Amino acid sequence: DWDCGWQNGSYTEADLEADLALMQANFSDFLFRHFRLMRPDASERELAKRGILCRILDGDNIRAGINSNLGFSQEDRRENIRRIAEIGKLFVETGIVTIACFVSPTNELRQMAREIIGAKDFREVYIATPLEECERRDVKGLYARARRGEVKDFTGISAPFEAPGHPDLSLDTSRMTLKEEVEAVVKLCL
């Protein structure tokens, strides 16, 4: 763990602008965010070791809090991503590398996030893990429930998913080690 603490003293607006020039937002597309599909916490720790302030915006946490009033209709998914992008933009503007881990199933939603955050700060990471592997790793049983019709509007099963055309990074976690995944994400952020 590391302490970001309060910084007093000689940090100027020019310093902030220089730091912001180095910062990026990463917007990850997940068929389903399972703990092992990509370990954003491992990327966060590696960036911290290098002295880079990084935070994760996690879909489950955001939906349990600020977006707890949203469901999974098209309108609610759009609003979910809009709010996340606005929060991510605030983080990036203060110099925090932000890894956003959310289901963003359409190119339209990803483009909206890119426009909100700003193209120079937005990096799209596509978790290109095959659906079968996502189902195999599903410890919550959500895919099985969706296949039985018990979960409505489940991305990849009963709701569409559009693979991004030109992501900045594509990771197939069924073929990569955790170390390889982290190295690729860190390289993208540097």
- Distance, CA of 155 to CA of 112 (rounded, Å): 19
Instruction: Verify whether residue 104 is a known catalytic residue.
Output: yes
| 153 belongs to a structural domain | no
Residue 50 has pLDDT above 50, yes or no: yes
| 30 belongs to a structural domain | yes
pLDDT for 2 equals 33
Indicate the pTM of the whole model. 0.73
| 68 belongs to a structural domain | yes
Using alpha carbons only, how large is the chain's radius of gyration in Å?
17
pLDDT band at 82 (very low <50, low <70, confident <90, very high): very high
Task: List the CATH number of the domain containing 96.
Answer: 3.40.50.300
Quick one: how many helices (H) and strands (E) in the chain? Answer: 8, 5
| 58 belongs to a structural domain | yes
- The tokens for 55 are 């935070």
| 99 belongs to a structural domain | yes
Residue 35 has pLDDT above 50, yes or no: no
Residues spanned by the domain of 39:
15-128+161-189
- 174 — phi, psi (to 5°)? -80, -15
Mean predicted confidence (pLDDT) in 46-51: 80
| 22 belongs to a structural domain | yes
Looking at the structure of the chain, the number of domains it has is 1
Choice among 28, 104, 158, 174 that is catalytic: 104
- Distance, CA of 59 to CA of 55 (rounded, Å): 13
